[in-house]
Amino acid sequence: MNTVSIRTLNDYKAKGEKFSVLTAYDATFSQMVSNAGIEVILVGDSLGMVCQGKESTLPVSVAEMEYHTRCVAAGNKGSLIMADMPFMSYSTLEQGQANAALLMQAGAHMVKVEGDDWLVPLVETLARQGVPVCAHLGLTPQSVNKLGGYRVQGRDEAKAQAMIEHSIALAKAGADCILLECVPSSLGKAITEAVDVPVIGIGAGSDTDAQVLVVYDMLGLNAGHIPKFVKNFMVDGRTPQQAIAAYGEEVKNGVFPGPEHKFS
Ligand code: KIV
C-alpha cells in the first residue's frame, strides 16, 4: 500500500470513491489495519472505554494518547494516522497548539477535535502551523454529560441546519476533514454535499465519503451494548485480517453501511 496523505483523501472525494477508517490502539492492530489497505487509522480516545474499561472517554490524558499514537505509528505500514485530542486538551489556543504538537511528534499525521464552530480559531491556528485537523460533530462523546447520553444528534430542523453551517465554517477555517457521529442519514448526505473536504461517518448513513468503526466492534469483540451502526465482519470463518479487509471492501463498494445501520 502506498502512503496515504490528505491529498489521497481529497482525490477520493473528487472522484466519488469511498475510503475507510478504523481505530487501532497498538502496533499489532495498526499493522493489520494498514496491511488490509484501510486508508486511515484513528487512534481514538475510545481507548478509554475499550482498552482502559472506563465509562467514558473523559479520563483519557494527553500522555496516554501520545503513548498509543507511538504504538500505532510503530506498526503502521502506510495508512494516515489520525489521533484524538482528549477531553479539555484544547480549551485554549495555547493548550491546543502544545498538545497537537505532542501528538504530531508521537507520529500522528492529523489530529481530531470535537465541537462545532467554537473550534474555528483553533482550526485556523493549527492549519497555519501545518497541522491537519479533523473536526468531529454530531454525537461528540467528550460532551456526553452535556448531551445527556449517547444520542442521535441533529434530528430537529434547526439543529440540523446549524450543524451544516458549522461544518461549512470549519472546512473554510482549514479543517481537512469532518467526522459525523450518529446523525440522520439525510443530514450526513447534506453535509457531505455542502463541504469540499472529505466527510467520515459513523452512524451517519451511506452517503458520506468514508466510514469509521471501532476495530473491536467490527470484529465482534464488544460484549456490551452493540450500537445500531455496528456490523460484525468476523463471520464465515474469517481471520481478523480477512474481516478487516472485508470491511474495507464493503465500504468501497457501498455495501456497508446498509439500511439497518442508519438513523432516519
Ligand atoms: O474515539 C473514537 O474511536 C472515535 C470514533 C468513534 C469516531 O472518535
Q: Which atom of ligand 1 is nearest to the CA of 114?
A: 8
Mean pLDDT across 185-195:
98
State if residue 202 touches ligand 1 by the CB under 6 angstroms criterion. yes
Average pLDDT value for the chain:
97
Which H helix or E strand runs over 165? helix 157-173
Dump pLDDT digits (tens) for 76-119: 999 999 999 999 999 999 999 999 999 999 999 999 999 999 99
Dump pLDDT digits (tens) for 26-62: 999 999 999 999 999 999 999 999 999 999 999 999 9
State if residue 66 touches ligand 1 by the CB under 6 angstroms criterion. no
Mean pLDDT across 223-232:
93
Mean pLDDT across 163-185:
98
- Give distance in angstroms: CA of 177 to centre of ligand 1: 14
pLDDT at position 224 is: 85
pLDDT at 68 over 80: yes
List b or e across 158-192, with b for residues whose CB sees 16 or more CB atoms inside 10 angstroms.
Answer: eebeebbebbbbbbebbbbbbbbbbbbbebbbbbb
Q: Which atom of ligand 1 is nearest to the CA of 141?
A: 8
pLDDT at 140 over 70: yes
Mean pLDDT across 13-20:
98
Q: Which atom of ligand 1 is nearest to the CA of 212?
A: 7
Asked if residue 70 lies in contact with residue 23, where contact means CB atoms within 8 angstroms, the answer is no
State if residue 46 touches ligand 1 by the CB under 6 angstroms criterion. yes
Question: Whole-angstrom Cα distance, residue 173 to residue 169?
Answer: 6
Dump pLDDT digits (tens) for 234-244: 999 999 999 99
**Exposure of 109 in the CB half-sphere (CA atoms within 13 A):** 20
Catalytic residues: 181
pLDDT at 222 over 90: no
pLDDT at position 232 is: 98
Burial class from Cβ neighbours inside 10 Å (0-12, 13-18, 19+) for residue 15 reads exposed
